[in-house]
Chains A and B, each alone.
Chain A
Amino acid sequence: MLIIFMVATNVLLWTFLRNAEYNRAVMERTEEEAQRSSEKIAVSHVNYSVQGGYVRVELKVANEGPVPVQITTLWVLDRVTQKHGYNDMVNINLRAGQTLNFTGSSALLVPIEGLEYGFSSEFSAWFVTARGNLIPLEDRFTGTKVIIQPSGGYPKVVIGALMLDFDTFRHFTYASDAQLANYPTGTLGFNIPKQTYLAFGCYLTNVDTMNRTMIIDSHSLLWQPGRPGVPEGAAFVVNVNADGTINGAYSQITLKHGETKMFVFASVNDLGLAAFKRYGTPNVVTTVATNLLIHGTLGSSPYAQNIPFVSIFLS
């Protein structure tokens, strides 16, 4: 009887001890879940920009909950390219009721590979807290549209599905009737010699928000509208070989999403309809406008766009 009593007591006490340990773990877990549920972070004034290969996120973050919150990681997703990046060194500690501003030099930087070309995009971002909450910086299904600016020089401008790089607008002279003299370097700038056979070059980037590939056909040109005293001019797109030779026939240029290529406009005639003939600048000293008239396809859809481009001064 005594033995039964001793053994039973032993088992009972051991069981109680273990049950107590498990109950304590359950209580701790419940408390953690309660604290996790009570985290309340408000994020406002979110602004994205791009610096080099970094997305720069400016924001204001406030802890509106009753418990202190530690933010460990910031994730940024480019919703267009689906490229993502993170910064797991943010380590933001917010006391209950505290508000912090991350603007100017305090902005949070998140590296994302593949941003160096520059393009328009749509970003989403979210914080991860130490308790495991994910805090979106904007509504889950809407991102923030951003036109990415380069870190220096002239701004790049996005119009439609194309981004134009003013900084790299150039012109080329001719070594012979169908060969450019200083290709591909050319002469950068907007001061152009008058009454001269020239070709123009500029960089275009496909920034279509639906990730479609653009095909630019021979009907695309750089158009210089005329006005009283200034004749109009047109330089259609051409293919140029590495040695500067202009092909007599035009083959369509494919521009994938995010891809940047230099386009050269040199022919008075549309090479899909007629033979190559050099474009020459008018014999006037004045400033003229130029437009880019782009024609082709975007994905499986027809694409055509008239884009006001640069002004050039003829002298």
Chain B
Amino acid sequence: MMVETMPNAHVLRKISKTIFNRRAVSNTISATILTGAVIALSLAVFSWSQSRSSDYNREYSETVEAETARLKEKLVFEYVSYGNPSDDLAVYLFNCGTINDLKIKSVYISNTTWLRAFSTPTLHFLNGAQIPDQDLDIGEEGYFTLLLSSSLSSGYYNIQVVTERGATFGSNFMA
């Protein structure tokens, strides 16, 4: 019986050895695969994070640049002329800010009970020539004319000019 059991032990040892050897090869591969997976995942996460942070940075930069540009705008009403000729409102402006390309998007005329809006009025130089690029650069003076369909009743009116960058400038005039 003892003799009969010996070969069985040998076989078992062989099988065990085979299994043991296989386990050694599998660890290397698994370690490699795992490392690769970790690196790939890291790259993916890094790429995604980088993309997201770039988006955030870009949006934030655009917001800050827009705010900064708006902050640099400064418009002065040199004169507001109403009724010369009749029902025309001429608004003379001066860009005394520190940024070029000041474009006018909207104009609002109002008093306590009345409001009227105008969009993108045509800008002229003081000599009457139309401004080609329709904006006021630093130190540039210009005017626009609003044609009111009916006469304004006597009294004080408020005028608000909104620029394309979103800055608002106001003045008053008497009709």
A residues neighboring B (CB under 8 Å): 3-4, 6-7, 10-11, 14-15, 18-19, 21-22, 25-26, 28-29, 32, 72-73, 75, 77, 82-84, 86, 88, 128, 130-132, 134
Contacts and interface: CB of A to CB of B under 8 A. Distances in A.
Nearest to B83: A82
Contacts of A72: 94, 139, 141
28 contacts: A6-B46, A7-B50, A10-B53, A11-B56, A11-B57, A14-B53, A14-B61, A15-B57, A18-B60, A18-B64, A21-B64, A22-B67, A26-B71, A28-B72, A28-B98, A29-B71, A29-B72, A72-B94, A72-B141, A82-B83, A82-B84, A84-B79, A84-B84, A86-B79, A86-B126, A88-B141, A128-B76, A134-B76
A6 B49 CA distance: 10
Interface residues of B, number: 30
Given A22-B67, A73-B141, A134 B53 contact: no
Nearest to A32: B98
Given A7-B49, A73-B78, A86-B126, A130 B72 contact: no
Given A3-B45, A130-B96, A131-B96, A83 B72 contact: no
B61 A77 contact: no
Contacts, number: 77
A121 to B, nearest CB: 14
B78 A134 contact: yes
Interface in B59-108: 60-61, 64, 67-68, 71-72, 74, 76, 78-79, 81, 83-84, 92, 94, 96, 98
B60 to A, nearest CB: 6
Given A11-B53, A15-B60, A77 B79 contact: yes
A18 B81 CA distance: 42
Contacts of B94: 72-73, 128, 132
B13 to A, nearest CB: 46
A25 B72 contact: yes
Contacts of B83: 82
A26 B69 CA distance: 11
Contacts of B67: 22
A134 B79 CA distance: 10
Interface in B20-55: 42, 45-46, 49-50, 52-53
Secondary structure of the A contact surface, majority rule: helix
Given A3-B42, A28-B98, A132 B126 contact: no
Given A11-B56, A25-B71, A82-B84, A132 B76 contact: yes
Contacts of A132: 74, 76, 94, 96
Given A22-B64, A77-B79, A4 B49 contact: yes
Nearest to B56: A11
B14 to A, nearest CB: 47
A75 B78 contact: yes
Contacts of B71: 22, 25-26, 29
A237 to B, nearest CB: 32
Contacts of A18: 60-61, 64
Contacts of A32: 74, 98
B112 to A, nearest CB: 21
Nearest to A11: B53
B96 A3 contact: no
Contacts of A3: 42, 45-46, 49
A86 B67 CA distance: 34
A84 B57 CA distance: 51
Given A6-B46, A22-B64, 5 more contacts: A14-B53, A19-B64, A77-B79, A83-B84, A132-B94
Contacts of B49: 3-4, 7
A25 B76 contact: no
